[in-house]
Structure 1
Amino acid sequence: MVILVGGMGGVLAGLAVGFGAHRCLARQRGAEAARLAAAEVRAALAPAGDLLAACLAAGAGPREAAEAVARSLDGPVADRLRQVAAELRLGGEPAAVWPRLAELPGAEGLARCMERAGISGVPAVESASRTAAALRAEQARAVVARGRRAGVLVTMPLSACFLPAFLALGVAPVLIGLASGLLGRN
């Protein structure tokens, strides 16, 4: 910036541009980290739902199922299940405890069916299995959408190269020929 603007104004402009670029990159990194964390949670929810359904089918209660699944998994879903199971073990109300699982992105349905099972004793095997299947289907749709988006993004550099070449080699000679023909007749 010192070369473009010159003097002290260039130094100040360079510092301002550098600071702005740093802030923009930091914001992008933060958003990317949050997106990756949410993707990690969503990827772990379907197996957690399957494991919860299997534990419930084997006769375990919601608290015991949450403890067993938390021991078999790692990551934020396991941590939240561990927290929920500990609160239930200490006498927490299912209606107050299971919504903590719902705070994770995509876990609302699973938390709701486990909450119903804890409150009313209704078997949650079917609803947990359906929720896990829905989570898996949503994850598959997201993968397909990312694949389609990647296909579109791959063609952008090609269009940036081929479109100017088409214009320069295909359209420009025709326009030049038409212009010279029109101008030559006058």
Structure 2
Amino acid sequence: MVPPVALGVARYRRPGRRLRRLRLRGYGPPAHTVARPGPRRRRPDRLRLACTLVGTATALLLGGWFGLVAATFVTAGLDGWLRRLEPAEVRRRRLAEAADLPLAADLVGAVLRAGAPTDRAVGTVAEAIGGPLGERLLRVARMLRLGGTVEEAWAQLGATDGARRMAAAAIRSARSGAALSGTLSRLAEDLRVDRATLAETAARRAGVLVVLPLGLCFLPAFILAGLVPVIVAVLGGVL
């Protein structure tokens, strides 16, 4: 005969069976509301797996102790380099925010000139623009309405160069009492000039990168067809 204490311990250690019995009787929470433990196995790190495969291929190609040492350095270096790269989603949001920032600065300045307070102006522009920058501006407006400090509110705008400049202008205006609308208009013009300069620089860099593969293809042919025969003829005449 099993002691009653043992039965109590067994029931305490297996709450799932008792919970199922309660649900069958009409008691307890519904089945879809009961939290179930997730899988304990963690998903493999695809990035680390890819680096390991590259290191293994390096070791097999080179062979020996030199291959093992080279594979270690290749795996560690490739893993560190890939992890420093900006994710595609983060880059897309950053570029979208940078593209909308000059327009947002112009619109906030226009609404401020119309007589609206800063929090309402920022919130109105946030709803009009939408996107990643609209979400950040909406957080700024909510922080201002809730009574947060100017530094805490405008810190929600992000850490990009244009966002820091816009936040610094708003903080200076709040501390000095100067009008923010004119500062934002000048900032919008500066941001547009900076974007145009970056686009021109990227276009020039793209031209160089396009010509580079062509030069790499023609250089070996030029050496083999032009320089090697001349060198062979000169050495043959001298020897």
Q: Greater Rg, structure 1 or structure 2? A: 2
Does structure 1 residue 182 correspond to structure 2 residue 229? no
- Corresponding position of 2:206: 150
Does structure 1 residue 73 correspond to structure 2 residue 134? no
Q: In percent, how many aligned pairs have the same letter? A: 36
For 2:149 and 2:83, locate their aligned partners in 1 and report how far apart those are by CA, in whole Å: 39
Preserved CA contact (<8 Å) 1:53 1:126: yes
Displacement, 1:172?
1.5
Displacement, 1:17?
10
Displacement, 1:179?
1.1
Greater RCO (Cα-Cα under 8 Å, separation 6 or more)? 1
Preserved CA contact (<8 Å) 1:99 1:112: no
Larger proportion of helix: 1
- Corresponding position of 2:115: 59
Number of matched residues? 179
What is the TM-score of this pair, normalised by structure 1?
Answer: 0.78
SS at match of 1:76: helix
Deviates more, 1:115-124 or 1:138-147: 115-124
Q: CA RMSD in A?
A: 3.1
1:84 to 140, 146, 160: 140
Does structure 1 residue 164 correspond to structure 2 residue 220? yes
The Cα offsets for residues 52-104 of structure 1, whole Å up to 9 and x where unpaired, read as 11112222222121011101112222111111111111222324322332534
SS at match of 1:106: helix
Displacement, 1:118?
3.5
Displacement, 1:182?
0.8
What is the TM-score of this pair, normalised by structure 2?
Answer: 0.63
For 1:105 and 1:38, locate their aligned partners in 2 and report how far apart those are by CA, in whole Å: 11
- Corresponding position of 1:98: 154
Displacement, 1:120?
4.2
SS at match of 1:107: helix
SS at match of 1:92: coil
For 1:4 and 1:155, locate their aligned partners in 2 and report how far apart those are by CA, in whole Å: 32
Displacement, 1:123?
1.1
Gaps of 5+ in 2: 1-56
| Paired amino acid for 1:90 | L
Preserved CA contact (<8 Å) 1:87 1:97: yes
2:186 to 130, 135, 149: 130
| Paired amino acid for 1:88 | L
Gaps of 5+ in 1: 7-11
- Corresponding position of 2:172: 116
